[in-house]
Amino acid sequence: MKITPELLKKYAADECSEKERLQVQKWLNNNEDLSTSLPKQKIVEEQKLVWQQIAGNMAADQSTSTVPLYKSVAKYAAAAIILFTIGFFSYQNLPYNFRDGSSESLALKTINTQRGEKRTVTLPDGSTIRMNYETEIRIPEQFEGNERIVYLTGHAHFEVTRDTQRPFIIYTEDSKTQVLGTSFDINTKSEGETEIIVTSGKVAFSEKEQEENLVTLTVNDRAILNANRSIATDKVDAFKLTAWKDNRLVFNGETLQEVIQVLEPWYNVSISVEDPDLLSQDFKYEKDNPTLKVVLDKLAFMGRFEYRLEGDSLIIY
């Protein structure tokens, strides 16, 4: 059983099953010196408050209870280990260049979208991020210093307010994108790849760890950072490939298999096809703000298939 922050919180709240409780106790017994091996960092205010609460509870227990001192200390020692451990997990998950315990790292907030959801976020400098489904961004409450930094996982379109004194930087797991003021689309959803498409202005796109591996892109340029760390570029129709940001559905010769991969998260449905021969058919279709029924009726007519919708499941036959 994997020890996670969620499991430790359940243990601290006395909500674990017997199996979970025994596993956590075993883990605690094997990690008595955990607190001394944790990274040195500033304790955030929330942690300070918890420590104060633990100390207050210990004092209250000793003044009102007949529980032996060693048992009370053991209970709060376990709570202390859990507190430090949860903090350690959170620290390990911070972006690598924010692991300094500075106040800037504590100001980051996370915004997510789910399947079937799109969202537009306005940043402190007036820039906007249009988030596609199943996407996460981490942004500061306010941009400070001489850079504007955002972290992205998933698919988003950026329209960046121009500021020649403060470059705008987007980090994904593997890439770095730097601009002064422009618009572009970044997608990390293909495993091992990051794709960027420029819709206006000029963009510097590079590998995060080796920034000398860099390309400069302009309108209708696309770059893909591959799993082997090479960057491939080509010319595309940026207007069509970024149409999703305006809720415009565009298929330009995609097979039904590829169409399904777009429709499922777009409309939050599960699609199955009873006749596998249908999957190789290709479709050209473009529509603003279409409902799922409108899309299906059109595709069914073009592909000569039928469909039925059962709750969140769609069957094509």
Could you write out the three-class secondary structure of 147-193? CEEEEEECEEEEECCCCCCCCEEEECCCEEEEECCCEEEEECCCCCC
What's the start-to-end Cα distance of the chain, in Å? 43
Is 50 exceeded by the pLDDT of residue 10?
yes
Model confidence at 198, in pLDDT bands (50, 70, 90)? very high
Instruction: Give per-residue pLDDT as tens, 235-253.
Output: 999 999 999 999 999 999 9
CA nearest neighbour of 148 among 179, 172, 169: 169
Model confidence at 1, in pLDDT bands (50, 70, 90)? low
- Distances 302 to 146, 241, 278, 284, 299 between C-alpha atoms, Å: 53, 22, 11, 9, 5
Q: Which residue has the higher pLDDT, 84 or 305?
A: 305
- Residue 144: per-residue pLDDT: 87
Residue 248 dihedral angles phi and psi, to the nearest 5°: -105, 125
* Amino acid found at 270: S
Give the span between the Cα atoms of 63 and 56, in whole angstroms: 11
Instruction: Give per-residue pLDDT as tens, 49-58.
Output: 444 554 455 4
Is 90 exceeded by the pLDDT of residue 120?
yes
Is 60 exceeded by the pLDDT of residue 308?
yes
- Residue 151: per-residue pLDDT: 97
Instruction: Give per-residue pLDDT as tens, 226-236.
Output: 988 899 999 99
Query: In residues, how long is the chain?
Result: 317
Give the span between the Cα atoms of 83 and 80, in whole angstroms: 5
Window from 86-100, 110-124, 169-183 with minimum mean pLDDT:
86-100
Window from 15-19, 214-218, 301-305 with minimum mean pLDDT:
15-19
Give the span between the Cα atoms of 220 and 81, in whole angstroms: 53
- Residue 17: per-residue pLDDT: 78
- Residue 40: per-residue pLDDT: 35
The answer to whether the beta carbons of residues 251 and 285 sit under 8 Å apart is yes
Round the average pLDDT of the chain to a whole number and report it: 81
Query: Which of 3-7, 31-35, 149-153 ranks highest by mean pLDDT?
Result: 149-153
Is 60 exceeded by the pLDDT of residue 99?
no
> Which residue in this structure is represented by tokens 């730097």?
178
Q: Which residue has the higher pLDDT, 176 or 5?
A: 176
- Distances 245 to 48, 133, 194, 235, 262 between C-alpha atoms, Å: 42, 10, 18, 20, 13
Please give the share of the chain, as a percent, with pLDDT higher than 70: 73
Give the span between the Cα atoms of 201 and 217, in whole angstroms: 8
Model confidence at 165, in pLDDT bands (50, 70, 90)? very high
What are the structure tokens assigned to 80, written together? 């202390």
What is the mean predicted confidence (pLDDT) over 108-126?
95
Is 50 exceeded by the pLDDT of residue 37?
no
What is the mean predicted confidence (pLDDT) over 89-110?
49
What is the mean predicted confidence (pLDDT) over 305-316?
94
